[in-house]
Amino acid sequence: MGEKRMVYISGALSDMDEAERAKLRTFYEWIGETCEAHGFSVYLPHKYGDPKRNADKTPQQIDQIDRQAVTLSFFMIAYVGIPSIGVGIEIEMAWHANKPVVLIAEQDRINERRVSRLVRGSPSVWHEIGFADHEDAIRQLKEYLPKFIVEFRAMDLPPPISV
């Protein structure tokens, strides 16, 4: 791919206990490592704006930081297995910035329509990965990333900004 392009990893961080937040941060970092192994750089919002670890940042600062990161990204991977207003906003930011989104969630949540149809129907969503467990999610993501690059290059979109 030559130059590194950034992937924005979106996922819930608020309204959960610390054990659940730590488990999700680990999952998001595993997604990030998978993307890095495919030549991407990664933006993980929890490293800059975790509601507990970075409580000193104002809501306006978080909005500005994340909005800029979405705009600079090549595409977004959004974990939508836990309802999150912030993730929905980030997906909408991606749409307005002309960035494709890959949704990722537990298969039963997708099959039982527990993931909002509004999110799933966003024009920015290119692909959904429904997984059995985190290992399955990573396996499917590894399979999909090379296909994504081919699909993206075939589209007539403005080139993404490299970082």
Flag whether 1 is in a domain: no
The verdict on residue 160 lying in a domain is: no
pLDDT, one tens digit per residue, over 118-136 is 999 999 999 999 999 999 9
CATH number at residue 92: 3.40.50.450
Give the model's pLDDT for residue 156.
60
Quick one: DSSP state of residue 158? P
Tell me if 161 is assigned to some domain: no
Cα 154 to the center of its chain, rounded Å? 22
Question: Average model confidence (pLDDT) for the chain?
Answer: 88
| Predicted local confidence at residue 162, as pLDDT | 43
Give the 3-state secondary structure of residue 76.
strand
CA 151, CA 71: separation in Å to the nearest integer?
20
- As for how many domains the chain has, the answer is 1
pLDDT value at 161 more than 80: no
Q: What is the pLDDT of residue 26?
A: 95
Say which residue, 100 or 163, is predicted with more confidence: 100
Distance CA 139, CA 126 (A): 18
| Residue partners of 64: CB distance under 8 A and separation at least 6 | none
- Checking if the pLDDT of 1 tops 60, the result is no
Quick check: 16 pLDDT over 70?
A: yes
Structural domain includes residue 162: no
Please tell me the distance from the alpha carbon of residue 24 to that of residue 118, in angstroms, as a whole number.
23
Q: 52: Cβ–Cβ under 8 A, 6 or more apart, which residues?
A: 18, 21
At 94, is the secondary structure helix, strand, or coil? helix
Domain housing 22: 6-154
Model pLDDT for residues 39-78, shown as the tens digit of each residue: 999 999 888 776 677 778 888 998 999 999 999 999 999 9
Please return the burial class of 158, using the count of CB atoms within 10 Å of its CB with bins 0-12, 13-18 and 19+.
exposed
